[in-house]
A and B are shown apart, each in its own frame.
Chain A
């Protein structure tokens, strides 16, 4: 079985949930013996220093670890926006310090690298230029199926599928409604919709996302399959975390500070918690377009001295943040999946998660609240901080449960979907 996969750069080169998901999935599919031609927007080759070997100047990569995967990079400025909650993990560091790029988040959900030479002026043109380039490469490749990850690669997927007469499969890691609420960018919505309708099968990362795909994009339910993400086993997590000596309990928010993640609900709940308990600190780890507003809001609510902002965290610091925490809260307004609660649980931190998330439907040992229900969020935060037996039970069961989400299972499920699609093609 050979797949032509339109994906994104792997960590650590690039940030966020989409890259992480592509990596986890591709690695596990490689283990299953699926041949993958992995096409991705071009990376800064100078920074390649990990286990990928690079051949020639044409954007060919080959990995020592991944024997069934061939990489083909295309020069492009496309950057996936951080798709799920793993913003904290990587990102930014790759290009910072080179002086020639200015990376910033913007509400358009693309981090544009303004000064890159092949920047073509607008996102729409770039997406289609990318599609044309991909189609050229596809003509030289042999494959049975086309698999595209998130909207920016859909036009390319459609083009390749049409030219090769192979079935198209699109995987939805997030939708425009998750990122923008009701104020969707029509151009992006149209591309998403086109991709979903052109595909033989749509893979959603949760039933939560599946429902959006059905209700907002008019895709027939039988066409949408749900495949949960996995989470990488972190070997450091099982060792006893080093908790710093501290008098205060710590409640952690880790994610972009942006509308989708619900930071203002976190603060409002924090204020309520502080009405009842005193020795609590709230840490907000992450950066984003709402940063300044949120700092102001904390001051306005009169809890400025209790809320600490770390700005953006990377690498070990993320791990440290988890390990310091007594409680992790994900108050997302709309979260297609949500890997961070699983990471928190790996670090033996109990979690409160928004019901408006994919992970809420799959994770049993978590406390769940509606993101807007400040009272209930505070009620549950207080309970976890106040009652050690609750903390302990959530921790132990949740830690165990977090390891249920394995990329091996995700890729096996995708393989089955491939087989189904190919059988009916």
Chain B
């Protein structure tokens, strides 16, 4: 028996507008650009993909199953700019064949900098899932599949989860296969699901790559690769950005045809089915314990943190951002806290990456900046303004509290 576990990451950040040191206002985000990107991706990807998923679920009478992780920052934007997409996600939730995962509401790197903030953001995301989709997530995925032993310990401690997702990185797995369920080192309750990056990336990155010897891949060929797992694994974890469908891979590459034919081809093999991640976790026992002493992610060939923490600018920006946490929270100002949290979205630091700057590759995707330097300058200008807003707000609060006891007298 082998189960295909599709999980799609659905996310768009609140991009920051061009903000110079001379700007003084509180409007940090580029509403026009964010609306434009959101509507464009909705039209090219989210909407057609959701409709196709609904069709497939209907056609296969509930045997086709998928999982999503939708970030809070995208949900906010969908409510503003593309409510029809939200409605189709809700329809998907109603089918009972779709699972929604938990992550940090702001798609942040808070796990690395602030445990408190991390816990608060997971809680906020959980509540959003309950409110919008009527589900309480049981599976946790951290931003960009960032994972290490301590994350498992922390998630175990927070409680309420059955499994965590991680990258099936070669340097962790060694001879082992990602097609089994594993146990994390520091938790007895949790299980680990690992991304099968070869098969995932065949779809996400190589689908339209004509120089790839296997091009073009059709549903029957891919189903053959998946079915080959039977006998040497239980799960085929296909984890990818939802934007793969129609956006990273344009419609004219045949990506939607591929997707619509895939379940039929998979079902031709009697021993293969589709499962949501929770079903997979419930169906299969862990075969081994995996030790992730270092931190892994699903990004770039390095599969580490270097996409967000690879140069002094990124380190500095993140450090300064989280240094503000106490000050920001002390203000108890909802707008300030929300702005600060939107700045935590990992994309802002991804834009500052100088690693593949020369190649002009995937880092360019919807990147509003010409260079990583521009993105750092913009970010620091905003942060500087936020800092002075905090100072002002705190000063005001202090003055009010000084006046308060005598308020009646004065």
The reply to whether B313 and A389 contact each other, CB–CB distance below 8 Å, is: yes
The reply to whether A389 and B315 contact each other, CB–CB distance below 8 Å, is: yes
Size band of the interface chain B makes with A: 20 to 34
User: Which residues on the A side are within 8 Å of B374 (C-beta)?
Assistant: 367
Residues of B within 8 A of A (CB): 20-22, 311-313, 315-316, 354, 357-358, 370-374, 376-377, 380-381
Top 3 A-B pairs ranked by shortest CB distance?
A389-B312, A379-B20, A389-B316
User: Which residues on the B side are within 8 Å of A390 (C-beta)?
Assistant: 313, 373, 376-377, 380
Nearest opposing residue in chain A for B317, CB measure? A389
Nearest opposing residue in chain A for B319, CB measure? A389
Whether a CB of chain B sits under 8 angstroms from the CB of A387 is yes
Nearest opposing residue in chain B for A401, CB measure? B358
User: Which residues on the A side are within 8 Å of B371 (C-beta)?
Assistant: 364, 367-368
Contact A393/B377 with A379-B21, A382-B21 known, Cβ cut-off 8 Å: no
A382 to B380, CA, bound (A): 11
A393 to B377, CA, bound (A): 12
The reply to whether A383 and B377 contact each other, CB–CB distance below 8 Å, is: yes
User: Which residues on the A side are within 8 Å of B21 (C-beta)?
Assistant: 276, 378-379, 382-383
B131 to chain A, nearest CB (A): 40
The reply to whether B20 and A376 contact each other, CB–CB distance below 8 Å, is: yes
A residues 109-143 in Cβ contact with B at 8 Å? none
Residues of A within 8 A of B (CB): 272, 276, 364-365, 367-368, 375-376, 378-380, 382-383, 387-390, 392-394, 397
Other contacts beyond A390-B373, A390-B376: 19, CB < 8 A: A276-B21, A364-B357, A365-B354, A365-B373, A375-B20, A376-B20, A378-B22, A379-B21, A379-B377, A383-B21, A383-B377, A383-B381, A388-B312, A389-B311, A389-B316, A390-B313, A390-B377, A393-B311, A393-B372
A111 to chain B, nearest CB (A): 38
A266 to B315, CA, bound (A): 31
The reply to whether B380 and A394 contact each other, CB–CB distance below 8 Å, is: no
A383 to B22, CA, bound (A): 11
Interface pairs (26), CB distance under 8 Å: A272-B22, A276-B22, A364-B357, A365-B357, A365-B373, A367-B374, A367-B377, A368-B371, A378-B21, A378-B22, A379-B20, A379-B381, A383-B380, A387-B313, A387-B316, A387-B377, A388-B316, A389-B313, A389-B315, A389-B316, A390-B380, A393-B312, A393-B313, A393-B372, A393-B373, A397-B354
Q: Is the interface of A mostly helix, strand, loop or mixed?
A: helix
User: Which residues on the B side are within 8 Å of A376 (C-beta)?
Assistant: 20
User: Which residues on the B side are within 8 Å of A365 (C-beta)?
Assistant: 354, 357, 373
The reply to whether B377 and A364 contact each other, CB–CB distance below 8 Å, is: no
User: Which residues on the B side are within 8 Å of A380 (C-beta)?
Assistant: 377
A272 to B316, CA, bound (A): 25
A404 to chain B, nearest CB (A): 10
A276 to B377, CA, bound (A): 15
A275 to B377, CA, bound (A): 18
A272 to B21, CA, bound (A): 10
A269 to chain B, nearest CB (A): 12
User: Which residues on the B side are within 8 Å of A375 (C-beta)?
Assistant: 20, 22
A375 to B354, CA, bound (A): 25
Nearest opposing residue in chain B for A383, CB measure? B377
A37 to B181, CA, bound (A): 74
B312 to chain A, nearest CB (A): 4
A389 to B371, CA, bound (A): 15
A393 to B355, CA, bound (A): 12
B34 to chain A, nearest CB (A): 22
A379 to B313, CA, bound (A): 17
Nearest opposing residue in chain A for B358, CB measure? A364
Nearest opposing residue in chain A for B23, CB measure? A379
B56 to chain A, nearest CB (A): 44
A375 to B370, CA, bound (A): 17
The reply to whether A387 and B373 contact each other, CB–CB distance below 8 Å, is: no
A26 to B81, CA, bound (A): 60
A262 to B380, CA, bound (A): 28
Residue from the list A382, A388, A393 in contact with B354, Cβ < 8 A: A393
Nearest opposing residue in chain A for B374, CB measure? A367
Nearest opposing residue in chain A for B20, CB measure? A379
The reply to whether A394 and B373 contact each other, CB–CB distance below 8 Å, is: yes
A392 to B316, CA, bound (A): 12
User: Which residues on the B side are within 8 Å of A276 (C-beta)?
Assistant: 21-22
B346 to chain A, nearest CB (A): 18
A104 to B22, CA, bound (A): 41
User: Which residues on the B side are within 8 Å of A394 (C-beta)?
Assistant: 373
A276 to B316, CA, bound (A): 21
B84 to chain A, nearest CB (A): 38
Contact A387/B22 with A364-B357, A394-B373 known, Cβ cut-off 8 Å: no
A208 to chain B, nearest CB (A): 16
- Interface-centre pick from B313, B315, B370, B381 (highest chain A CB count, 10 A): B313
A379 to B380, CA, bound (A): 11
B319 to chain A, nearest CB (A): 9
User: Which residues on the A side are within 8 Å of B354 (C-beta)?
Assistant: 365, 393, 397
The reply to whether B370 and A368 contact each other, CB–CB distance below 8 Å, is: yes
A396 to chain B, nearest CB (A): 9
B24 to chain A, nearest CB (A): 12
- Interface-centre pick from A272, A380, A387, A392 (highest chain B CB count, 10 A): A387
User: Which residues on the B side are within 8 Å of A379 (C-beta)?
Assistant: 20-22, 377, 381
A171 to B107, CA, bound (A): 52
Nearest opposing residue in chain B for A394, CB measure? B373
A392 to B377, CA, bound (A): 13
A376 to B316, CA, bound (A): 22
Residue from the list A364, A368, A382, A392 in contact with B312, Cβ < 8 A: A392
A368 to B374, CA, bound (A): 9
A378 to B21, CA, bound (A): 9
User: Which residues on the A side are within 8 Å of B316 (C-beta)?
Assistant: 387-389
A208 to B111, CA, bound (A): 46
User: Which residues on the B side are within 8 Å of A378 (C-beta)?
Assistant: 21-22
User: Which residues on the A side are within 8 Å of B312 (C-beta)?
Assistant: 388-389, 392-393
User: Which residues on the B side are within 8 Å of A387 (C-beta)?
Assistant: 313, 316, 376-377, 380
